Structure 1
């Protein structure tokens, strides 16, 4: 299996090639959809790697979060390595759901602290068009899928296991 650096090199190579094609066909670097795709792709490559399921201390994915990497330890306890977290649809969704739960909990803590201190505070998602959110989701999933392909996990991986007689 490739190391974390190899996964990142593969993802960055594909992103660079895609950017060249995007610009060659008249795309603009200021395009909101392209920017959302790129940022989500980079977040999926460096911050939300499928290898966050490694519960060991100091994995490359967790170190990128700094001190907040401790919040990802329970994720590693919930999902065994190359289990559900390394599937094509549910794996990336588990990381997004876990991150949303973390952000929601931290948001409520911050809101409670602000209320206690007498400061006005409100949490809102940016009101971007749906197309921008769609391109962000596509960029995130593409980065995850490249990781899985590099690990030798294809979309039919689980189907092959189901068909195999026991």
Structure 2
């Protein structure tokens, strides 16, 4: 299993090759990629690489992603207590969603506290509706960064399903013993 720095270097290398390929493809009119799509993909990819690594499930200790949060890194300690390393947080679909959901819960708590104790504070408004064209590059960049991490860790795409299947088999065996 690579260190956090090696994961970051792998992601940066892949991003560089991908960016060069997209640049060549756009210059040769093979694909059309707007500046907004490029920016959104890059933001999602960099957030996934540096701030939302699957290794945040180790955040009770020293984890690069937690350190990148600076003083707010302590917010990830409960995440590390909730998720076991290489468990659900290291699955291909649900793992990245656990980190997004965790952030959403923290933001909801902060907004709730601000509305309760400082109702005059003006909170930023989220423009409505949010276009799918805006979200797809962010999600694609985020998920690609996560998947590169999992590939480097040797986690197969069916890791979560195999893990759940093994648990279900164990439960089934225990049930059979009782009957």
TM range (shorter): 0.7 to 0.9
Report whether the alignment pairs 1:104 with 2:103. no
- Residues 76-107 of structure 1: CA distance to partner in whole angstroms, max 9, x if unpaired? 00000000000000000000000111112222
> Aligned partners of 1:156 and 1:29: how far apart in 2?
31
Q: Residue 107 of structure 1 contacts residue 123 of structure 1 at CA under 8 Å; is this kept in 2? A: no
TM superposition shift of 1:16: 0.6
Q: How high is the TM-score relative to the length of structure 2?
A: 0.81
Aligned to 2:176: none
Bigger Rg, structure 1 or 2 = 2
The unaligned stretches of length 5 or more in structure 2 are 171-179
**Structure-to-structure mapping, 1:1-166, within 5 angstroms:** 1-26=1-26, 31-115=35-119, 118-119=120-121, 121-127=122-128, 128-160=130-162, 162=165
- Residues 54-73 of structure 1: CA distance to partner in whole angstroms, max 9, x if unpaired? 14233222111111111110
Aligned to 2:177: none
The unaligned stretches of length 5 or more in structure 1 are none
Question: Aligned residues, how many?
Answer: 162
TM superposition shift of 1:114: 3.7
Q: How high is the TM-score relative to the length of structure 1?
A: 0.87
Q: Do the aligned partners of residues 104 and 66 (structure 1) sit closer, same or farther apart at CA in structure 2, a change above 3 Å counting?
A: same
TM superposition shift of 1:129: 2.3
Q: Residue 4 of structure 2 contacts residue 64 of structure 2 at CA under 8 Å; is this kept in 1? A: yes
SS of residue paired to 2:92: coil
Q: Which has the higher helix share?
A: 2
Q: Residue 87 of structure 2 contacts residue 160 of structure 2 at CA under 8 Å; is this kept in 1? A: no
